[in-house]
C-alpha cells in the first residue's frame, strides 16, 4: 500500500489497463515490422524516441493501419504526420503578415497574439 511517487499525469495515463498494454505491444510490433522498400521518414523515425499510448476502437485502429499501409508508411508515421499537421495549425500563426506588429525586440500577431521569437 505504498503511495505513488510518480509525477502527476493525465487520467488517461494513470490507468495501466490491459488495453494499454495490448496497445503498447501492438505499437512495438508495428515498429519492428520489416519496412524494406517503403519510403518512410527515416530521419523522423530516428529522432522519434518518445512513445505515446493512445486508445482507439478496433475499427478506428484497423482503418488507420489500412490507410497507413496504402500510403506505404508505418502506423506510427501515419499518426505522427497527422498530429504534426494538426499541432502546426493550432500552435502556429497562419495569419497574414499584415496582421503582425513589429517591435524592436519582438514581433506579434494582432489576430491571435502569437509572439515570434
Cell of 79: 499518426
* Site residues (vs Zn ion, CB under 5 A): 93, 95, 109, 111-112, 114
CA dist., res. 111 & res. 44, Å (int): 32
Rounded to an integer, what distance in angstroms lies between the CA atom of residue 117 and that of residue 107? 7
| Cβ proximity to Zn ion, 1 vs 91, nearer residue | 91
- Supply the minimum distance, in Å, between the C-beta of residue 110 and Zn ion: 8
Whole-number minimum distance, CB 82 to Zn ion, in Å? 22
Copy the grid coordinates of residue 110: 494582432
- Closest to Zn ion by CB, 82 vs 111, is 111
Amino acid at each position: 500500500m505504498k503511495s505513488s511517487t510518480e509525477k502527476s499525469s493525465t487520467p488517461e495515463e494513470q490507468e495501466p489497463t490491459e488495453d494499454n498494454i495490448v496497445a503498447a505491444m501492438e505499437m512495438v510490433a508495428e515498429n519492428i515490422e520489416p519496412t524494406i522498400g517503403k519510403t518512410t521518414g527515416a530521419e523522423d523515425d530516428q529522432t522519434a524516441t518518445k512513445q505515446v499510448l493512445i486508445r482507439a476502437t478496433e475499427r478506428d485502429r484497423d482503418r488507420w493501419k489500412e490507410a497507413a499501409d496504402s500510403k506505404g508508411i508505418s502506423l506510427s508515421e501515419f499518426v505522427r504526420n497527422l498530429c504534426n499537421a494538426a499541432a502546426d495549425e493550432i500552435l502556429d500563426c497562419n495569419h497574414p503578415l499584415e496582421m503582425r506588429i513589429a517591435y524592436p525586440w519582438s514581433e506579434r500577431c494582432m489576430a491571435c497574439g502569437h509572439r515570434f521569437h
